[in-house]
């Protein structure tokens, strides 16, 4: 018995309609016989002929009709397949592992493969590994570049269960979950180019400040001041005109800058050449003119770009000036900052900050003073100075200190002999958190990065915060500080506190032990007044000396053990001269009480070698690799350490690396030096 195709559905009903009408006509014929026999006979003859014709037509035309239907369906499927094959949208089918099993002509032409190619899609697009294949029936999209064009790749799972259940050649289980992966590629090159062009034309806001306007003007004769100002204006205007921007002078030492984003890229490529151009102006002025530039971009509005620019210029000034800072919602980028900031001889700012600090302290009942983690002499000495100020203003003050290092222990023991020292003067971070309340002010000294303070949680817990620091500001900073006094030119935090004490409550008479603590911080941070010292450094030291600081006692307190001295000598002995100008070494940490201190001292000693521009000493301490970087005046080691995640001053900086060893850390340092030399950031 032959298998035959049978019609069903609406088509079957449509073809059987004439036969059904014939049956209805037969019923009508029976009724006519009752009315008129002659008319009934005539209708019966017509009905017979009609039925014979219908039956003959259905019998002889049905096979041909079925063949026509089969041919149409086949041709329709071929047309669909051909249309899919010739679709201009690149399209392919993958199996569950990502291997290509079919692709249309557009896909073949794009990837330059023939239809027999059956390798993984990742061999063509490395970005589409197995981990990028869809894990659900929802569309998965990725952006990728191929052959110089940008594409949006859309991946979609196509289940095979329904097709398998209807198939007569295969049988599927109820839990069958096989699938194919459909891949579509949408060319977005033109769209991305248009978006990039729109982005390039977006406006960028900038602020340009002259760092040392007053000092530069005072360094020339009266008749030359207007000429110097005109030269500065011309240099700024010419530079901005060259990048098709707009600049307007808002004050004698301030400019507003408007440029396109594409122009900013040009400025980045020449590394803000304007900084060097203005610095090169010389009409007899003894002081070189330096600029600070703050750029804000990619904000949601022009007002937000302006706010970014203000934040950037504040950051540039806080880092010492002579540099540019570019701020966007995603990142902050630094340029310049290679020159040493000049110390200002006026102490007006110190007096203003001292009076502001006095008001803040007197408005609260309890004060905490906290330094950085692994506190050093400068951090603790500054904390003792703030404690002295609070005592003079009749306010309770606590020093937050979790651990006392071996190098700091002599100074802490000396301070504990102070008559005003109480048992609860020094608290741990956890103890401070327990008693801190809304009427507490936190003074942070010798650090401006919240993550490396003694107790970062205390910063989030206190609403009133004061920051006193001499390190250059970085990307991470303590936000919403009630009072921020950051002066990168200061030699130490102790120098800043010593200046402030002279203005609080009309001048504070401090005890000899407090003076020793502050003097110790200045001595250690300046390497016995041989590095980063200025007029105000010696003035602060003289003030402390007048108040009883004992130079001999301080010197005895920080004498080295024989083992430490030998370790420092070994560090200097094994130093490697890298690229003729950089001394690299590592300090052993076994049986050394304070290896980070020895490393810093060894880095200072290496600067005594002729021809050395900067020294770097690494040491391992508490499962971290510590970097101590030093220079005299030729290299900004802060920029180098920032590349490794640290910071500091131009001449004194450091960094820390976790989860690494000494050899890997030394490779990181060398690679950083190589890259910065190649890019021109250092010589």
Question: Nearest CA to 308 among 449, 205, 209?
Answer: 205
Rounded to 5 degrees, what are φ and ψ at 284? 110, -5
Q: Which residue has the tokens 């002081």?
A: 287
Mean pLDDT value across residues 459-488: 85
pLDDT beyond 60 at 373 = yes
Selected residue with higher pLDDT from 177 and 511: 511
Residue pLDDT, tens place only, 374-395: 898 999 999 999 999 999 999 9
Taking residues 490-506, what's their average pLDDT?
90
Average pLDDT of the residues in 177-206? 85
Q: Is the dihedral of CA 264, 266, 272, 274 positive or negative?
A: negative
**Residue of 483, 499, 222, 232 lying closest to 345 (CA atoms):** 499
C-alpha 628/C-alpha 316 separation (Å) is 24
Pair 342, 212: CB distance under 8 Å: yes
**What pLDDT is stored for residue 576 in this prediction?**
93
What are the chain's domains? Answer: 10-85 (no CATH), 91-196 (3.30.450.20), 201-336 (3.30.70.270), 348-557 (3.90.1640.10), 562-679 (3.10.310.30)
- Identify the band that residue 2 occupies on the pLDDT scale cut at 50, 70 and 90: very low
pLDDT tens digits along 208-231 = 999 888 888 888 888 888 899 999
What is the arithmetic mean of pLDDT over 242-252?
91
Token digits for 306? 């302006």
Burial (Cβ within 10 Å: 0-12, 13-18, ≥19) of residue 591: exposed
Q: Is there a contact between 606 and 583 (Cβ–Cβ < 8 Å)?
A: yes
Instruction: Quickly state the pLDDT bin for 76 (edges 50, 70, 90).
Output: low
Write down the residue that tokens 């053990």 correspond to: 561
Taking CA atoms, 289 is separated from 215, 309, 649, in Å, by 9, 21, 21
Q: Report, as an integer, the average pLDDT of 491-504.
A: 92
Q: Categorize the per-residue pLDDT at 65 as very low, low, confident or very high, splitting at 50, 70 and 90.
A: low
For the chain, the average pLDDT equals 85
**Residue 68: what pLDDT?**
66
The pLDDT of residue 48 is above 60: yes
Q: 351 — phi, psi (to 5°)?
A: -65, -40
- The 10s digit of each residue's pLDDT in 543-557 is 999 998 988 888 888
Which residue has better confidence, 168 or 470?
470
Per-residue model confidence (pLDDT) at position 662? 92
CA distances to 217, 234, 281, 339, 626 from 229, rounded to whole Å, are: 8, 9, 10, 21, 46
Residues with Cβ within 8 Å of 258's Cβ and at least 6 positions away in sequence, in order, are: 203, 204, 205, 206, 245, 246, 247
Three-state SS string across 353-420, please? HHHHHHHHHHCCCEEEEECECCCCHHHHHHHHHHHHHHHHCCCEEEEECCCCCCCCHHHHHHHCCCCC
Cα–Cα distance, 541 to 525 (Å, whole number)? 13
| Cβ proximity of 662 and 625 under 8 Å | yes
The CA distance from 633 to 629, in Å, is: 13
Q: Which residues of 435-446 are buried (b: 16+ CB within 10 A; e: fewer)?
A: ebeeebbbbbbb
What average pLDDT does range 73-87 have in this prediction?
68
Using alpha carbons, select from 642, 619, 616, 644 the residue that is nearest to residue 630.
616
pLDDT score of 69: 63
Q: How far apart are the first and last CA of the chain?
A: 95
CA 419/CA 578 separation, integer angstroms: 52
Token reading at 358: 């006095």
Give residue 161's pLDDT band: very low, low, confident or very high (50, 70, 90). Answer: low
pLDDT(3) > 50? no
Residue given tokens 């040009």 in the structure block:
266
The SS3 assignment for 271 reads: coil
- Kindly tell me if the per-residue pLDDT of 441 is higher than 90: yes
C-alpha–C-alpha distance, residues 322 and 338, integer Å: 8
Distance from chain centroid for Cα 598? 33
Lowest mean pLDDT among 25-29, 351-355, 442-446: 25-29
Question: What's the confidence (pLDDT) of residue 1?
Answer: 41
Residue 454 structure tokens: 């003694």
The reported pLDDT for the residue numbered 296 is 93
Q: Give yes or no for a contact between 200 and 169, defined as CB atoms under 8 angstroms apart.
A: no
Q: Distance (Å, rounded) from C-alpha 379 to C-alpha 400?
A: 11
Question: In the predicted model, what is the mean pLDDT of residues 419-432?
Answer: 88
Q: Which contacts of 234-238 are long-range, i.e. CB under 8 A and separated by 24 or more positions?
A: 235/274, 235/277, 235/278, 235/281, 236/208, 236/274, 236/278
Please calculate the CA angle 5-6-11 and round it to the nearest 5 degrees: 125
User: Looking up tokens 């290496």, which residue turns up?
Assistant: 606
Secondary structure, 3-state, 147-183? CCEEEEEEEEEEECHHHHHHCCCCCCCCCCCCEEEEE
Q: What is the token pair recorded at 230?
A: 């005109």
The 652-658 sheet, strands edge to edge: 576-578, 582-587, 614-621, 624-631, 652-658, 647-648
- Shortest CA distance to 381 belongs to which of 358, 424, 410? 410
Per-residue confidence (pLDDT) for residue 646, from 0 to 100 = 85
Dist. CA 586–CA 222, nearest whole Å: 54
> What are residue 52's phi and psi, to 5 degrees?
-60, -45
Phi then psi dihedrals of residue 251, to 5 deg: -140, 180
pLDDT at 175 over 80: no
pLDDT band at residue 318, thresholds of 50, 70 and 90? Answer: confident
**What's the confidence (pLDDT) of residue 67?**
63
Q: What is the pLDDT of residue 398?
A: 93
CA distance 32 to 14: 28
CA distance 88 to 250: 57
- What is the helix (H) or strand (E) element at residue 426, kind and residue range? strand 426-427
Average pLDDT over residues 563-568: 88
Q: To which residue do tokens 């110390």 refer?
A: 343
CA–CA dist 197, 260 (Å, integer): 11
Of residues 337 and 102, the one with the higher pLDDT is: 102
* pLDDT at position 388: 93
> Does position 629 have pLDDT exceeding 70, yes or no?
yes
Phi, psi of 300 (to 5 degrees): -75, -15
Query: In 3D, which of 670, 486, 525 has the Cα closest to residue 604?
Result: 525
Tokens of 580: 């003729």
Poorest-pLDDT segment among 12-26, 133-147, 419-433, 668-682:
12-26
Give the per-residue pLDDT at 94.
86
The neighbouring-strand residues paired with 206 are 257, 295
What was the pLDDT predicted at 478?
85
């Amino acid at each position: 018995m032959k298998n035959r195709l049978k019609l069903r559905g609406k088509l079957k009903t449509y073809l059987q309609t004439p036969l059904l009408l014939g049956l209805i006509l037969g019923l009508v014929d029976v009724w006519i016989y009752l009315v008129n026999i002659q008319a009934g006979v005539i209708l019966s003859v017509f009905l017979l002929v009609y039925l014979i014709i219908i039956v003959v037509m259905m019998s002889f035309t049905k096979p041909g009709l079925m063949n026509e239907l089969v041919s149409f369906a086949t041709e329709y499927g071929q047309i669909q397949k051909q249309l899919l094959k010739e679709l201009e949208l690149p399209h392919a089918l993958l199996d569950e592992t990502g291997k290509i099993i079919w692709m249309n002509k557009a896909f073949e032409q794009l990837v330059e493969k023939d239809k027999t190619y059956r390798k993984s899609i990742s061999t063509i697009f490395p970005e589409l590994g197995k981990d990028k294949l869809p894990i659900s029936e929802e569309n998965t999209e990725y952006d990728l570049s191929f052959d110089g064009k940008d594409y949006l790749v859309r991946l979609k799972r196509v289940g095979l269960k329904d097709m398998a259940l209807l198939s007569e050649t295969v049988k599927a289980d109820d839990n069958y979950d096989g699938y194919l992966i459909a891949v579509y590629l949408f060319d977005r090159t033109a769209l991305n180019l248009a978006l990039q062009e729109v982005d390039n034309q977006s406006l960028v806001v900038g602020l340009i400040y002259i760092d040392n306007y007053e000092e530069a003007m005072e360094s020339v004769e009266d008749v030359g001041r207007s000429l110097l100002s005109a030269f500065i204006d011309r240099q700024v205007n010419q530079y901005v005109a060259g990048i098709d921007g707009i600049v307007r002078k808002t004050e004698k030492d301030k400019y507003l800058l408007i440029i396109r984003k594409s122009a900013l890229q040009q400025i980045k490529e020449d590394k803000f050449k304007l900084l060097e151009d203005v610095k090169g102006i010389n009409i007899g002025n003894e002081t070189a003119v330096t600029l600070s530039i703050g750029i804000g971009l990619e904000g949601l509005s022009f007002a937000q770009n302006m706010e970014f620019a203000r934040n950037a210029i504040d950051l540039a000034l806080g880092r010492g000036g002579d540099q540019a800072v570019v701020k966007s919602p995603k990142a902050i980028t630094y340029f310049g900052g290679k020159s040493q900031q000049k110390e200002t001889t006026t102490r007006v700012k110190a007096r203003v900050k001292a009076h502001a600090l006095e008001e803040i302290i007197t408005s609260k009942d309890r004060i905490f003073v906290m330094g950085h983690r692994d506190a050093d002499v400068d951090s603790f000495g500054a904390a003792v100075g703030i404690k002295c100020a609070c005592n003079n203003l009749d306010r309770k003050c606590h020093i937050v200190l979790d651990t006392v290092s071996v190098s700091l222990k002599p100074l802490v023991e000396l301070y504990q002999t102070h008559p005003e020292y109480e048992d609860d003067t020094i608290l741990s971070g956890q103890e401070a958190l327990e008693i801190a309340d809304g009427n507490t002010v936190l003074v942070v000294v010798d650090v401006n990065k919240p993550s490396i303070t003694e107790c970062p949680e205390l910063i989030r817990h206190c609403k009133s915060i004061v920051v006193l620091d001499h390190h250059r500001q970085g990307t991470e900073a303590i936000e919403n500080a009630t009072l921020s006094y950051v002066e990168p030119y200061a030699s130490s935090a102790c120098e800043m506190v010593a200046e402030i004490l002279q203005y609080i409550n009309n001048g504070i008479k401090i005890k000899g032990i407090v003076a020793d603590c502050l003097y110790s911080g200045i001595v250690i941070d300046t390497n016995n007044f041989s590095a980063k010292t200025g007029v105000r450094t010696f003035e602060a030291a003289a003030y402390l000396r007048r108040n009883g600081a004992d130079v001999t006692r301080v010197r005895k307190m920080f004498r080295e053990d024989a083992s430490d001295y030998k370790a420092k000598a070994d560090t200097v002995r094994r130093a490697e001269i890298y690229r003729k100008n950089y001394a690299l070494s590592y300090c052993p940490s076994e049986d050394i009480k304070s290896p980070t201190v020895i490393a810093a001292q060894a880095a200072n000693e290496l600067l005594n070698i002729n021809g050395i521009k900067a020294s770097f000493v690494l040491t391992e301490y508490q499962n971290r690799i510590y970097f101590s970087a030093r220079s005299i005046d030729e290299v900004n080691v802060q920029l180098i350490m920032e590349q490794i995640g640290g910071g500091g001053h131009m001449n004194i900086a450091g960094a820390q690396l976790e989860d690494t060893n000494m050899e890997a850390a030394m490779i990181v340092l060398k690679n950083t030096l190589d890259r910065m030399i190649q890019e021109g950031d250092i010589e």
